[in-house]
Amino acid sequence: MKAICLNFQEIRKNHFIYALYIIHTLQKKYSNQYLKCLMHDSAKVAINACGLSDISFNQADYQKEISGSKMGADIKWNGISNIVTKIEDKPSKLTIRSNKKNQLVSRSSQSKKWLLYEEANTILRSLNIKNYGYLDFVKAIPKKDWVKKLVDQSVDKNKTIMYISILEKECSNQAKHLIKHWIKKILETESVCIVLKSNIMLTINHPQLFTLKEESVSYYDEIQLINEVDMVAGMAGDIEQVAVFLKKPIFLFISDETWSINNNACWTHYLKLCNIRNIANLENSEIIRLAEKAYLLFSDLIYNVNLNIKLSTEQLQSLHYVVENPIAMLFFNDEEKEEWREKNIDYEQWIIPLLKQRWTLKEVRKLVRKCNVHKLAYICGNITWNYLIIFKLLAWQAKVSQSIKWINNQYYKYVPVENLIEGLHVIKEKGYHGK
């Protein structure tokens, strides 16, 4: 038999689950000796935890290995909508590439909530593997006795079971304080059972809280645990893609300013994202208030799951877009702001409200400071051209981290955020703004 060569070097750790799914599926049909795989260094820990052999992490080593093999299939996938396959004895190669110019529109116009899973299956189908899915994959991976005991005997199946992963090294002291208060609030409801993977000392004593040490949970363990629970929570950039792969409702805290749709998007029916990007600047009392808001968000997620209220493709796209591209909106008074909030409550924490009575040099300076704090991409609101020029000059002097697009109209006040995002993208594609 000829070798199947899998170039997954561009797939990072957070999307490793999809590469693992492909590798495992191929191992069931073909001997491991015929599989040649190249992976990114960031996935090495997960790969070692899964006991995968014959994995290369160096392009030169990989090329040397495959050059000595007869190649039956050459597959390259970046985990972000870019697949190139060359299969021997097939008339042409299969190529799937994302349209970078029109990516937002193409993604929102098609129901691609499970995008990467479908792409992984496209690769498998090109290798004549059919009628195989994620549940078959989960059944095929080992389940340790302690995992069986935990999910079969320890947790209360009459409650909502939630798996939470909080890596200590990625969690600030302020975030630890918030998460502790948030977990206590959830447990007080007596309706949720929590399995927590963390080395953080929370000093919470509750019969429905089961704590696991980070080092005691392997990648396979995590897959099995997530498959058994009702929902998943944690810090963004950790295990959410496993939850997406297994079609679980997700609650995420987002602290990373570089969060992006390509690398971090969660295309799932039930999703809540909690903004903690500026938590380092908050006092303890403010952290408690933020934890209360996080609890209300979590309650909304439970409500949506119980009543089967799913996010539409447009809502998902809009939510992801405002997380990656923070937006500020100018309102003339609290009443105006509240009217907008009632129509767009799901986006409230991601849209920065700004109150303006009249334009002054002081107000413009204050706005420039907010641009730096919140890493704003857009400002929506009316401004005179002379103050717009002053703003751009002050922003340049303050070395604002990115170019701010000023949408100089009142349209945003009267439409749902989904419509606003669609309009912003049209503006971006047409190459104009401020009209």
Print the domain residue range for 136: 3-140
- pLDDT at position 352: 87
Query: Residue 306 is encoded by which pair of tokens?
Result: 């119980």
Q: How far apart are CA 12 and CA 31, in angstroms?
A: 25
- For residues 307 and 177, membership in a common domain is answered with yes
CATH of residue 420's domain is 3.40.50
Q: 153: number of CA atoms within 13 Å, CB side?
A: 6
Per the domain annotation, does 156 fall within a domain? yes
Surface-to-core class of residue 73, CB atoms within 10 Å of its CB (0-12 exposed, 13-18 middle, 19+ buried): buried
- For residues 186 and 87, membership in a common domain is answered with no
Could you say which of 93, 116, 140 is where a domain stops?
140
Could you say which of 279, 312, 345 is where a domain stops?
312
For residue 381, the SS3 value is coil
- For residues 135 and 188, membership in a common domain is answered with no
Chunked in runs of 10, what are the mean pLDDT values of the chain (435 residues)?
87 90 88 84 88 87 83 85 70 48 41 73 86 88 93 91 92 93 96 95 91 94 96 94 95 92 89 93 92 96 95 89 90 85 86 79 86 87 85 84 77 82 72 43
Q: 107: number of CA atoms within 13 Å, CB side?
A: 27
- For residues 129 and 153, membership in a common domain is answered with no
- For residues 165 and 49, membership in a common domain is answered with no
- For residues 92 and 202, membership in a common domain is answered with no
- For residues 306 and 364, membership in a common domain is answered with no
pLDDT tens track for 33-51: 788 899 999 888 888 888 8
Query: Residue 24 is encoded by which pair of tokens?
Result: 């495992």
Decide if 147 contacts 224 (C-beta within 8 A).
yes
Number of compact structural domains in the chain: 3
Per the domain annotation, does 135 fall within a domain? yes
For residue 183, the Cα-to-chain-centroid distance in whole angstroms is 21
- pLDDT at position 427: 66
Per the domain annotation, does 317 fall within a domain? no
Per the domain annotation, does 268 fall within a domain? yes
- For residues 226 and 133, membership in a common domain is answered with no
- pLDDT at position 100: 40
Query: Residue 21 is encoded by which pair of tokens?
Result: 């799914």
Per the domain annotation, does 320 fall within a domain? no
Per the domain annotation, does 261 fall within a domain? yes
- pLDDT at position 66: 84
- For residues 159 and 186, membership in a common domain is answered with yes
Could you say which of 116, 140, 164 is where a domain stops?
140
Look up tokens 């750790």; give the residue: 13
Q: What's the DSSP call for residue 392? A: H
- pLDDT at position 103: 44
CATH of residue 157's domain is 3.40.50.2000
Q: How far apart are CA 398 and CA 8, in angstroms?
A: 41
Per the domain annotation, does 88 fall within a domain? yes
- For residues 234 and 363, membership in a common domain is answered with no
Decide if 72 contacts 42 (C-beta within 8 A).
no
Q: How far apart are CA 16 and CA 24, in angstroms?
A: 12
Query: Residue 55 is encoded by which pair of tokens?
Result: 């994995």
DSSP H helices in 144-190: 145-149, 173-188
- For residues 126 and 29, membership in a common domain is answered with yes
- For residues 282 and 359, membership in a common domain is answered with no
Per the domain annotation, does 277 fall within a domain? yes
Q: How far apart are CA 19 and CA 56, in angstroms?
A: 14
- pLDDT at position 258: 86
